Amino acid sequence: MNTWDPDDRSRSGFAALHPAVQCLFFASVISVTLGMDPLLLALSGLAAAGLIIRQQGIRKFGASLRLFLPTGLLMMLLNPLVSHNGVTILWYFPDGAPLTMESIVFGAAAAGMMLTLFGWFSCLQRVLTSDRIIYLIGQAAPRTALLISMILRLTGSCRHQWKAINAARYGLAPPGGSAVHRLHSTVTMLSTLIGWLLEHSLDTADAMKSRGFGAARRRAYSPFRFRAQDGRVCLLVAGSDAALIGARLFHVLDHGYYPVFYSAPAAPLRAGAVLLFGLLVFLPLLIEGKEALRWQFLKSKI
């Protein structure tokens, strides 16, 4: 179970909202991001990057970018090689297949969508901790909630255990040697990690059984309360969703990549829908900024 740290920025501002409101927000933003509208995708990516920097710091954001950016670039480069749809031909490959502008644009949009989703799920994992997930689905599906909670907890535990195993291996025998030797060392470390994971799982199962888990329906204490601020944020998110759905139905946000790249022309309704979505995706940063200003004001009164 995750514990609350008063010095952790992820436990204040937007992260302190009710879990149901947070879940509604992430579901709304991720759903619109999957639509791959160029303008909405760009706004979603900027907001996700800003929230990661706010929650985890610029160094963590840079490390994540170095990890996932090559995958996005690879996707962007591979799409024109496997997809030759589109009417704007730029060049022909030696085998006669055309290189089209539409396939390049679609590959860039798909890569941007993937990177943006990675960013939002990184924020979601930091905000929707195991105790909040159990609160959301614990009553309806207690076993599923417990399974998700254990998986999230084991993700961090396995990372720390891997570092401990690596440190112990380095103390016994510093890394080096041939590629076969390094491969054998890595396999040995992985085997040790799997053994620790199985032992830890058995110990957890025995502890839960001895405490009577599953013997009867249980009620869990919940510290979450639906406050006025949660209601305002919930109304804003729901209103934005309704407006964006209406914009889709009235073809205000129409776009396409094949056979020719197309985006709905600029119009007051389209501009309003884009601004509304911008307000929605930047809502966590606005809440965080409000909390920061409030904190600075309270400190000045001390």
What pLDDT was estimated at residue 219? 62
Q: State the residue for tokens 């249980």.
A: 218
Residues 228-263 pLDDT 10s: 888 999 999 999 889 888 888 888 888 888 888 888
Concatenating the DSSP letter of every residue in 190-209 gives HHHHHHHHHHHHHHHHHHHH
Higher-pLDDT residue of 192, 169: 192
What is the rounded (10 degree) CA torsion for 178, 192, 163, 70?
60
Q: Is it the case that residue 220 has pLDDT exceeding 70?
A: no
Q: Which of 13-22, 63-72, 169-178, 278-287 has the highest average model confidence (pLDDT)?
A: 278-287
Concatenating the DSSP letter of every residue in 89-113 gives EEEE-TTS-EEEHHHHHHHHHHHHH
Residues 182-193 pLDDT 10s: 788 888 888 888
This prediction's pTM: 0.74
- Residue 244 in contact with residue 276, Cβ under 8 Å? yes
